[in-house]
Amino acid sequence: MNTAQPPAIHPPGRHFRTDGFDAGSFFFTGLTGLATFLILAILAIILGNVVWEGWGSFSWRFLTGGTERDMFSVENAGVLPMILGTAARVILMTIFVIPIGVITAIYLTEYARSGSLWTRFIRGAVNNLAGVPSIVFGLFGLGFFIAFAGQNLDRMFHAGAEPHWGKPAILWASLTLAVMTLPVVIVATEESLKAIPSGLREASLALGATKLETIFKIVLPQALPGIMTGGILAVSRAAGEVAPILFTGAAYYMASLPKSLTDQFMDLGYHVFILSTQSPDIERTRPLLYATVLALLLLTFTLNIVAIFVRARMRRKMRAAH
């Protein structure tokens, strides 16, 4: 390095010194850039492999068929019951998780004093909830919703008979997933609430509105895109989760679609697991397996990309507002 010359100006985006070749910079930038590229390449390989192998058997019949005749061959089996089951459990989940998550976020941003003990406790709990292993959520669903809540409901309303509530069901699976995705909704809603300029709140107060009116009529409508992002992210996370529903509601095979909240259901993610591990002849199942994975990926990725776009638009609007 030639230190005698005056230091070169480094405009953003220029990594190399202009006063000659800098081997260290070249090496370091190259190495970190390579790592970034490698991660993206792995992502591309996984997606490419699934699309390449799955596209051929991704037919209308596959999307609208069931597994009555044969579970493991692409000629006979379809995924409609699994898609409907997954959709049902995810929609049910949003009904539980969105109100609770949004209200918690409202408390955290609009009411809580940022240093207070309650706030720190709540934030700590939210962060920890996000890190609890998904299989532990499954155990929790079994231990709390089924063994405790369900069996007590049975004791009260279905004495002596076959268990009605105290068994795996779509309701319990949805509730378990709602607990799991609660942090996702809280964090996304909080972010969007914080992005709303405080001038709006003050203007509303100045016009004579109360705090609660301000929150529900001024702040929340503005935060709607953020709440939607949270909901979409929660749905996309939950749609692909298998471990929490293993013991709380997913069924290996069901002759009919779930008709009530206490029925079990077939699930797309669980079906991927079944097809890849239980098939008697993996080579014959392979096309079906790839098509099923493609269906699952299409579902979660579409949701993810929509969420990214909504969020990006929101951020741009926010920057313009500030």
Partner 1 sequence: MNEKQTDAARSWESLRKGHQSRPLEWLVERGIFLVSLSAIVMIFLIFAFVGREAWPVVAGKMNSSSVQTVIPVAEMDKHSPAELRAYLGLTKAKFDSMDLETRKLMMEIKVEADKEKPVDKDAPVNTTSWHYLFRPHAWTGYEKPSYIWQPVSLIHKYNLVPLIIGSLKATLVALLFSVPLALAAAIYVSQLAPAWAKEWLKPAIELLAGIPSVVLGFFALIVMATVLQKVFGYESRLNAFVAGIALGLAIIPVVFSIAEDALTSVPRSYTQAALALGSSRWQAAWKIVLPAAIPGVFAAVVLGFGRAIGETMIVLMASGNASIVSGSFFDSTRTMTATIAAELAETVTGGHHYRILFLIGALLFIVTFAANFAGDMVMHRLKRKLEGKA
Give, as ranges, the residues between 186 and 245 that touch partner 1 (CB under 8 A): 186, 194, 198, 201-202, 205, 210-213, 236, 239-243
Task: Give the contacts of 228 (CB within 8 A, at least 6 positions apart).
Answer: 310
Closer residue to partner 1 (CB): 73 or 276: 276
Residues 85-104 contacting partner 1, CB under 8 A: 99-100, 103-104
Closer residue to partner 1 (CB): 118 or 157: 118
**Interface map 50-79 toward partner 1 (x if CB under 8 A):** x-----------------------------
Q: Of these, 218, 246, 291, 314, which contacts partner 1 (CB under 8 A)?
A: 246
Tokens of 29: 């930038």
- Give the separation between CA 95 and CA 279, rounded to whole angstroms: 35
| Residue at 260: amino acid letter | S
- Give me the count of residues in the chain: 322
**Which stretch in 59-67, 75-83, 127-135, 221-229 sits in contact with partner 1 by CB under 8 A?**
127-135
**Which stretch in 18-26, 55-63, 68-76, 224-232 sits in contact with partner 1 by CB under 8 A?**
18-26
- Give the separation between CA 207 and CA 293, rounded to whole angstroms: 55
- Least distance (Å) from partner 1 to the CB of residue 253? 14
Decide: is 32 part of the binding site for partner 1 (CB under 8 A): yes
Place of tokens 């709602």: 178
Closer residue to partner 1 (CB): 91 or 147: 147
Radius of gyration in angstroms for the set of CA atoms belonging to the chain, rounded to a whole number:
25
DSSP 8-state secondary structure symbol assigned to residue 8: P
Residues 167-186 contacting partner 1, CB under 8 A: 179, 182-183, 186
The torsion defined by the Cα of 120, 125, 126 and 132, in degrees rounded to 10, comes to 150
Decide: is 131 part of the binding site for partner 1 (CB under 8 A): yes
- Give the separation between CA 189 and CA 237, rounded to whole angstroms: 16
- Least distance (Å) from partner 1 to the CB of residue 67? 18
Number of neighbouring beta carbons within 10 Å of residue 34: 11
Closer residue to partner 1 (CB): 201 or 284: 201
Q: Of these, 273, 284, 298, 306, which contacts partner 1 (CB under 8 A)?
A: 273
Decide: is 280 part of the binding site for partner 1 (CB under 8 A): no
Task: Give the contacts of 89 (CB within 8 A, at least 6 positions apart).
Answer: 170, 173, 174, 177, 238, 245, 249, 265, 267
Decide: is 251 part of the binding site for partner 1 (CB under 8 A): no
Residues 136-165 contacting partner 1, CB under 8 A: 136-140, 142-144, 147-148
Q: Of these, 51, 80, 84, 112, which contacts partner 1 (CB under 8 A)?
A: 112
How many of the chain's residues bind partner 1 (CB under 8 A)?
103
Q: Of these, 21, 60, 113, 206, which contacts partner 1 (CB under 8 A)?
A: 113
H-helix or E-strand spanning residue 105:
helix 80-106
Tokens of 205: 């107060």
Closest CA to 173 of 113, 258, 102: 258
Closer residue to partner 1 (CB): 142 or 227: 142
Tokens of 173: 């699976």
